[in-house]
Every structure is written in structure tokens, then in C-alpha cells.
Structure 1
């Protein structure tokens, strides 16, 4: 793959989790979260993006979200469970993405707010149609995702280099 071909990054926030008596890292999905994760998976499938790699936080709610969503995709990408995605800042997420080999074209990153929303804002130097307004108007609720595109090596991913192509969130 040429580094000049556009790459896609989907920033996917975990679905709604329960507030249970376990540590934050171990919080499971709520019933609503399981339903929304499946719908988000169908929307990801509709995007037609052939993901090469999924980077998923090790938190229970992100792993459960991805396990449900990936079943809706026509092709199951390689999945890496990455501890650094839990409680990461947008800058730390960029650092993880910068480590991606250049033979990987399209990535879905399953993580947490506020970092996922912040990263979408930071990367998006431009936006298609009303994608930015829809994303900021909704505040990146659970199970929402943003689709971004950029050209170049993963090592060159930095603030402002991407285009926000689309944004989706489940209905309230």
C-alpha cells in the first residue's frame, strides 16, 4: 500500500455501561449499551470501510462493545487490546496510532471519552458538510463514532491533518 492512499480512522466510543459496584475498568455494558453496540456495528458495516486493524481499550465495556459490534462487519479485522487506550489523553492516542505499521490502511479505535471526542476534534483540520456540527451538538455519547481520513504515513498523523468525513450516534 502506498502512503499516498487515504487512510481512515474510526474513533468509536464504547457503548453505555452500567454503574455497578466494580472498579471503573471492569464496568460492563448496560442492556442499552448492548443494543447500541449492535446498531453501531451495523452502521460501521454500512460505511464500507474494510478495517485492517482494531485497537481496543482493555476496559470491560470497550471489549464488550467491540465483541458485539464486530459481529456485524463483513470482515473481522485483527484486534489488539491496548492498555494505553484506557484513561488516555488525545495526545497519548495519537502516539499509539503513530506506532501503526504503514501496511495498515484503515483502523477502528474503540476507546473512552473525553479522549475519543477530543482526538476527533484535534485531528479534524476540515470537515465534510455538517459532520462537525453534528458531532459537537451531540457531545459524543456512548456508542458514537467519527470517521476521519488522512494521507501519509501513520508516523505523520498529527493535529489538523485529517478530514472529518462522518459522525454517527445512536438515537436517544
Structure 2
């Protein structure tokens, strides 16, 4: 694939987690999270993006979110469980994205806040419509995702290079 081909990165925050007496890395999804994750999966499918690669944190709540969301996609992408996505800083997240092969056009990253929101905000040099305002107003809630488009190679991804094309979050009444 040419590095001139526009790429998409979708940042999905894990669904709502429970707070049992376990280590943070092992926290499972709460009932609401188990309900929201498949909805997020259906919304991801509705974007029409055929992901080439999914990078998922190794935390229990991200793995469970991904298991429930991916079942709603028309095709399962290659999935890599990446330790570095757990509790990652903005710089660490950008470093992980920079390592993605240029054979990948559409990337899905399943992670945590504050890193997911920070990455979306840092990469978004521009936005379509009110997507950036809605993302920043909402604080990037659980099971939300942002779709960003970038030109060039993954190695060139840095602050301000992307366009925030879409921001979706589960509606709460």
C-alpha cells in the first residue's frame, strides 16, 4: 500500500468497567459495559471501515470490550494484544502507532482514558463538523470511539496531523 493512501485510525475506549476487589488490570466489565460494547461494535460496523489491524490493551476490560464489539463486525481483523496500551501516556501511544506497518490502512486501537482522549485530541489538527467540540465536551466516555484520518505513513503520525472525521458515544437518557 502506498504511503499516499489516506489511513484511518479509530480509537475505542473500553466499555464501562466494574470495581470489584481485584487489581486494576483485571477489572471486568460492568453490566452496562457488557450492554454498550456490542452497540459500539454495531456502530463501528456502520462506519463501513474494514479494519486491517486491531491493537488492544491486555487489560481484562479492554479484552472483554473487544470480544463483544468484534462479534458485531462483518469481518474480524487481525488482533494484537499490546501490553504497552495499558496505562499508556500520550507519547507511548504515538510510539505504538508509529510502529504500525504501512501495509495497514485502517487501524483500530482499543484502550483507556486518559490516553485515548489525549491521543484523539492531540492528533486532531482539524475536525469535520462539531466532532471535536462534542468529543471534548463529553470527555470521551466509556465505549465511545473517534475516527481520525491521516495522510502519509504511520511513522509520520504526530500532533495535529489528523482530521477527526467522526465521534460517537452511547446515548444516555
TM-score with structure 1 setting the length: 0.99
Matching of residues 146-161 of structure 1 within 5 Å:
146-161=146-161
Equivalent residue of 2:165, what SS? strand
Count of aligned positions: 172
Equivalent residue of 2:104, what SS? coil
- Corresponding residue number in structure 2 for 1:55: 55
- The 2-side partners of 1:3 and 1:50 are apart by 18
TM-score with structure 2 setting the length: 0.98
- The 1-side partners of 2:31 and 2:45 are apart by 22
Shift of 1:171: 1.2
- Corresponding residue number in structure 1 for 2:129: 129
- Corresponding residue number in structure 2 for 1:23: 23
Shift of 1:90: 1.2
- Corresponding residue number in structure 1 for 2:119: 119
Moved >6 Å (runs of 4+): none
- The 1-side partners of 2:148 and 2:12 are apart by 11
- The 2-side partners of 1:138 and 1:154 are apart by 28
- The 2-side partners of 1:160 and 1:154 are apart by 14
Structure 2 residue runs without a partner (length 5+): none
C-alpha RMSD of matched pairs (Å):
0.5
- Corresponding residue number in structure 2 for 1:9: 9
- Corresponding residue number in structure 2 for 1:87: 87
Structure 1 residue runs without a partner (length 5+): none
